[in-house]
Structure 1
Amino acid sequence: MTDLPSSLAAPALFALLCWWFGTGAILWLVRRPPAAFRRSLVLFSTLLALSLWTTQQSMQAQTVANAYLGFASVIVMWAWHELAFLTGWLTGPRRVPLTPGAHGWRRFGESTRVVIWHELALLLNFGVLLAMQQGQPSHVALCTFAILWCMRFSAKLNLFFGVPEVGEQYLPRHLAYLGSYFRKGRLSAFFYLSVAASMAVWVWIVWEVVSGRVVVSTGWVLLASLLGLAIVEHLIMAFPTPMQKLWGWAMSRSAAAERVHP
């Protein structure tokens, strides 16, 4: 029992730091002058290739080290996708604001064309991980990617259906047109459904341990923490949140860089 708090705290803190630092790093990089995008993409593409190898290594045994390795490897993969999207390199064939007055299927079609290449890249990455997972005992990496993808897709749908805080002010300048695709308004029924479903899954994961059906492991804590943080990101869309206080080191310096390099 004396080891339980430390077994929970260390991986939970690791997940929190990956979420906080990874988000801040991407916010900073995509607000640098466009000339720096190529260097950033080359660096992260190299890290992406390395992360595929380390992910495969992490799947080969259920150990504490492999749980951390698999989780961190997928965070690096995800960072590549976010960087590729937010630099404007991998978005979609449509790169203009939403047609004024568009609604219904037309709005859905235009919204899809804005991000379709990025969504296909994520699905391709997930397919690669599924192929790598075959016959391997550790599922931390695959589950990490699945949580990130599902919760990101849920967030996108919430921005489509409507939330009070769409966060368009945090888009880099070259992607400002994406803000026109967000619907700012009252919380939709989908928001309540998506948050309730996510929280139900999180409670179930925790209950499996509390009831003794699952033994606490590093991988379990990492995944539970990541899902909890993703739920918090959803709740941020419902309430005004000063993001600068979370990522001030990235936002303030990035904003200054954008003013210097319009």
Structure 2
Amino acid sequence: MLQHILPVLFAVFVWWFGTALVFLLDQLPRRSFRWTMAGATAALGGALYGVVALADDVSVSAAYLGFACGVLVWAWGEIGFLTGLVTGPSRKPCPPGAEGWVRFIAALRTILHHELAILALGLLLVALLWDAPNQVALHTYLVLWVMRQSAKINIYLGARNLGESMLPPHLAHLASYFRRRTMNALFPVSITAGTVAVAVLVQRGLGAGDFEAASSTLVAALMALAVIEHWFLMLPLPLDGLWTWGRPGQAPANTAPCPQHVETARLPSRP
């Protein structure tokens, strides 16, 4: 039992502490952002070195270290995005009345460079760990990537809790692309697929050897946390306080969704 409990506790700690730390760094003066990014880049280099060094190691400690390396690789992209250093070619709010492809393209232009960066890092991990016995870092990164993309699309389509109060002032324009809704058509698919993935990973880890049990449980715990984060999008509760110590003292100005994107439809007929 302990071989499953400890990975869960480790994943929860890394998820909560890492998220809050990134938000805390983002609240420092903007002149510090390049130093923050330099530190993140050094951590990225160390994580990639660790990925290669652990590729053939199937010990329990290697599972934990591989998980940490995957999170550190992902953190580089998150820090680059939240500091505004790796975002997109556009920093403009959503054009008034924009819908359909016009709104989608405008939204994509605000995050395009970030999307390309995390794609490149994902492909790099695939190349480094191709046929490697220890692929925990890659699986960790893929869970973070897939579920974060799902969360982004759900917020774009419409959610109850948009988290706009967590946006720093230099990213306030992103809130204009959010929609406030009590439900959207993608959300049940995201929750169902994520829950099934958790069940498959848990089943894979039960009765397995030490390394397989640790690695599967770590990734399953991370996937479960991502599913819980998705539920946070729709629950009628203010849940930003989970990272209170890593958020600004007050919501930045002009972060509310555009009026035309605040809707209450239970099931949207269009994005």
Q: State the TM-score, normalizing by the size of structure 2.
A: 0.88
SS class of match (1:217):
helix
Quick check: 2:71–2:137 contact (8 Å CA) kept in 1?
no
Quick check: 1:61–1:136 contact (8 Å CA) kept in 2?
no
For 1:161 and 1:135, how far apart are their aligned partners in 2? 37
Matches within 5 A, 1:144-223: 144-209=140-205, 214-215=208-209, 217-223=213-219
2:41 aligned residue: 45
Q: Does 1:255 align with 2:254?
A: no
2:88 aligned residue: 92
Structure 2 CA distance for partners of 1:209 and 1:221, relative to 1, 3 Å:
closer
Matches within 5 A, 1:10-89: 10-89=6-85
2:11 aligned partner, one-letter code: A
Quick check: 2:204–2:216 contact (8 Å CA) kept in 1?
no
Instruction: Give the CA deviation at 1:241.
Output: 4.0
1:131 aligned residue: 127
RMSD between aligned residues: 1.7
2:141 aligned partner, one-letter code: F
Q: Deviations over 1:94-147 (max 9, x none)?
A: 101000100001011111111111011011001111111123111111110111
Structure 2 gaps, min length 5? 254-271
For 2:45 and 2:183, how far apart are their aligned partners in 1? 40
Once structures 1 and 2 are overlaid, which stretch shifts more, 227-236 or 189-198? 189-198
Q: Deviations over 1:44-99 (max 9, x none)?
A: 11111111001111221211111111110111111111110011100000101000
- Alignment partner for residue 236 of structure 1, among 232, 239, 243? 232
For 1:240 and 1:187, how far apart are their aligned partners in 2? 11
Identity %, equivalent residues: 38
1:107 aligned residue: 103
SS class of match (2:89):
coil
Q: State the TM-score, normalizing by the size of structure 1.
A: 0.91
Q: Deviations over 1:191-242 (max 9, x none)?
A: 11111111112122223455x5x45611111001000000011000001444
For 1:74 and 1:241, how far apart are their aligned partners in 2? 31
- Higher percent of residues as helix: 1
Structure 2 CA distance for partners of 1:98 and 1:249, relative to 1, 3 Å:
same
Structure 1 gaps, min length 5? none
SS class of match (1:62):
coil
Instruction: Give the CA deviation at 1:243.
Output: 3.7
For 1:102 and 1:220, how far apart are their aligned partners in 2? 43
For 2:170 and 2:49, how far apart are their aligned partners in 1? 33
Q: Does 1:116 align with 2:115?
A: no
Structure 2 CA distance for partners of 1:250 and 1:152, relative to 1, 3 Å:
same
